[in-house]
Amino acid sequence: MNIIMLGAPGTGKGTIAGILSEKLGIPQISTGDIFRKNIKEGTELGKLAESYISKGQLVPDEVTIKIVEDRLNKPDAKNGVILDGFPRTIVQADRLKEILKAKGENVDITINLETPEDEIIERIVNRRVCSNQECKAVYNVVLHPPKVEGKCDKCGSDLITRKDDKVETVKSRLEQYFTSTSPLVEYYKNEGILYSATVSKTINKLGEDVARDLIEYLESK
């Protein structure tokens, strides 16, 4: 099964993708994580990606598509994947369709996460991530704090704030989302594979709750 996680930054794509990945036994492919790993390792791709990410802009389509295409050709992707943060433009979505079609596959479901904008900013500013690249657990110092301050519950590594999780950068990331990515909601709705869910503290639904609903939905199909 091929699943897409769609939604503005900070809506919980990564958290939900992680839970689904474990439950369904298929890999989570996060373009953001791939870029961050390359930035940390100082690769050419990392340098290029950082010049966009630090400004809250999207990494160019050609670069991003190539990375996903290569990743989809790895053996562990043969039973399906959870794409977390890809596609983010119509061009990426069209290319993804072609890449999957060539393998006799398609996107089975697109999960569209919706969170009120003021809550998104609060969620991103309060977000902390595990510094261990193998773990990458995500916390929120208010809504989902770690048991020991500044330390990951899962692996004990230090928690850090992502460099692009600053109020200034968040604003341009949101703008990018509304301009370039949100048209994909309509795109996948037209394909009849859109599953929308609200992630918000006001209705008592955080990532874990939406993941539970989703698993129930997928099992009932």
Fill in the DSSP letter of residue 76. Answer: G
Residue keyed to tokens 């996060």: 30
Measured from each CB, the residue nearest to ligand ADP is 32
Among 15, 86, 93, 96, binds ligand ADP (CB under 6 A): 86
Number of amino acids touching Zn ion (CB under 5 A)? 8
* Residues in contact with ligand ADP, shown as a per-residue x/- string from 32 to 71 under the rule CB under 6 A: x--x----------------xx---xxx----x-------
Catalytic residue check, 128: no
| Cβ closest to Zn ion, residue 68 vs residue 138 | 138
The alpha helices in 44-89, defined as continuous H runs, are 44-53, 61-72
| Cβ closest to Zn ion, residue 92 vs residue 140 | 140
Q: Which of 36, 64, 18, 68 is nearest to 164 (CA)?
A: 36
Please tell me whether residue 152 binds Zn ion under the rule CB under 5 A: yes
| Residues 41, 35: Cα–Cα separation, whole Å | 10
CB 161 to Zn ion: min, Å: 15
Helix, strand, coil percent values for the chain (each to nearest 5): 50, 15, 35
Q: Tell me the one-letter amino acid at 94.
A: D
Candidates 70-78, 81-89, 99-107, 114-122 — which segment interacts with ligand ADP by CB under 6 A? Answer: 81-89
The count of other CB atoms within 10 Å of the CB of residue 184 is 20
Extract the tokens encoding 45.
């791709």
| Cβ closest to ligand ADP, residue 19 vs residue 53 | 53
Candidates 19-27, 29-37, 96-104, 145-153 — which segment interacts with ligand ADP by CB under 6 A? Answer: 29-37
Extract the tokens encoding 120.
């998104």
* Most distant pair of Cα atoms in the chain: their distance: 48
In the chain the first and final C-alpha atoms are separated, in Å, by 12
Catalog residues that contact ligand ADP under the rule CB under 6 A. 9-10, 13, 31-32, 35, 52-53, 57-59, 64, 85-88, 92, 164, 173
By annotation, the residues acting in catalysis are 13, 88, 127, 162, 173
